[in-house]
A and B are shown apart, each in its own frame.
Chain A
Amino acid sequence: MKMTKLSALAMTTALIAPAAFAEDMANELTLVSWGGSYQASQTKAYTEPYMAANPGVKIIWDESSAEAVAKLRAMNEAGNVTWDLVDAVASDSMRLCDEGLAEELDHDADLAAAPDGTPASEDFGDLLVSDCFVPQIVYSTTFGYRTDLVGAEAPTTVCDVFDLAKFPGKRALQKRPIDNMEWALYCDGVAKDDIYDVLGTDEGVARGLAKLDTIKDSVVWWSAGAETPQLLADGEVVMGSTFNGRLFSAIAEQNQPIGMLWDMQSFDLDGRIVPAGLPADRKARVMHFLKFATDTQRLADQAAYISYGPARASSAPLVGKHAELGIDMAPHMPTDPANAGNVHTYDYEWWADNRDDLDAKFQAWLVK
């Protein structure tokens, strides 16, 4: 395997030698992302400009971010890591960092400073939840509902999701315990600040699952972010959770009769990690790309294609209008004050420690 790789590399290097490349950089870059409109926004904001500036670099996309942790574990075990840069949510990146599957970074040295000279670590601030993680966007998991199917009165709180009497019909929920358990406990009367304390006990887990049990028969479980907009568009569900950017695309770009329910939206970070143990040439290339694709302007550019907030403080003022629709993006951002009245602060630390436990119990509950 190594032999083949080396000779293939030697050949490509020989072929593009006149193109004036730093000889110690690979010319192929395998990026792992989530697919759909999100990946499209990354293509527009990051890879297309990068390829324009670096002709000859080949970008390969892999839409495996949902399984990034398991796949990286498998690749690591097999001793053959084929990915160069992986999009991962904050909790996943923490797990990967803990397990030594992601490269630890020196944020100030590896990333570009803000235009005013603020170092990267300060510009990203609190969002640097792990040494391996380069934050990219702030997104939220929240609910959308069919304006024409929910009846005269639109849902106003997340607890309407659990109210089958008031809003009959199916709901789409993500097939994982994260967020669902918190919403369930919140709607079962647990104070927002106590959610994780309660969830940390067996009784708390049982209580959350019991709450979910009340709507279990009316739930369609999704595992890819694109499913909920589709289910809403088909009228298969009257409401459903998904990432706010997906709902934005359905509403603003496809004019679907969908309304946003921002209440208790669950903030999360998505960012990038570099898998540990890459060969030097590939690492050099990915670091080169990473520096380019995380600077202030680039992060702001992505917000022109999808309604996720850039993770750098210095990018925020640069967010403007949608690149094609020309509408103001700010009101569609999860961080907009009008949308962020009641938010759920998702605890990465807690989930990084407890995800395996909760997953097992949630799966057992699911197939019952």
Chain B
Amino acid sequence: MADASNNDAFVEFERVQKSYDGENLVVKDLNLIMPKGEFLTMLGPSGSGKTTCLMMLAGFETATHGDIRLGGTSINNIPPHKRGIGMVFQNYALFPHMTIAENLSFPLEVRKMGKSEREAKVKRALDMVEMGAFGGRRPSQLSGGQQQRIALARALVFEPELVLMDEPLGALDKQLREKMQFEITHLAHRLGITVVYVTHDQTEALTMSDRVAVFEDGRIQQLAPPDKLYEEPQNSFVAQFIGENNTLEGVVKEINNGVALVQLDDGELIDCKPVNVSKPGERTRVSIRPERVEYNKDRLSEGAHTLKAEVLEFIYMGDIFRTRLRVAGNDEFVIKTRNAPDQVRLKPGQQIEIGWLPEDCRALDA
């Protein structure tokens, strides 16, 4: 939805670095621009630097180098309590010795707000998360999902323009998590707030975000809307990390008209889209999504390269079939096919030929 080159940058990271021990950088040269109202997710495995980035933005960590700006002003030297950023923590961090209403009232009290105004705002916030009847309870008397809503309400009650969420749904069960994902996105869009959301769950990232920043090794590997991220991963880490992915290794033979000819390690040739390979002779990892693989010869385009494959396993999953193949020496090659009436159900041991469109097959870094 938003364009990274937008001029009305709300949150900016410029050449930000962070090191805890003076030897290793956990965040390496981070640049990020977020417009107002965007829901951005920082996605990555643990230790990738995403949480550190969030903490630097919140003010609990200081950047070793670089500049972090909020609404155009540098906030490097502003203490967390003056940044006016709402935050939802992984374990909710509801104050156990206060009631729900007191928890919500806390940020208003420290802002020296009058009592009646406070009460009105607390009530509105509780109603917003449909927890109006729970003001007098203690956090320990609430379920995980309820606590989650209260944490959200507390982060929003003082009407911050930016809200940070650090794996807020990590402790919930799957069903509740999906429900809350939906609620949070809706609430964020309705209130028009800017959200930076940290998670290691790629489904969460894809379903909730306007843009996703994939973190690995202290860098943003790719920053893109969910669909682009999934369909056009810029490197093999992103391809592997987002969704299911098949990988074949080989060497680039030639690149012509935006199509790269790749010779796989067992000698077979396939056509791919060169993403980050530039010249023949480079090693590459080829990435193909399981649902883009075709084994029905009729549907393959004329003259397309095909590969021989042996069916190893067929799993019936209801809406889809998941079939594991041996392709070019890779036993973990998976294809997914829709459960359609005319769909062929493959049998283990069956020899087939598979192929795909060259643009679905992305030649990435080795």
Touch A–B, Cβ below 8 Å: no
Spell out B's residues near A (CB within 8 Å).
Answer: none
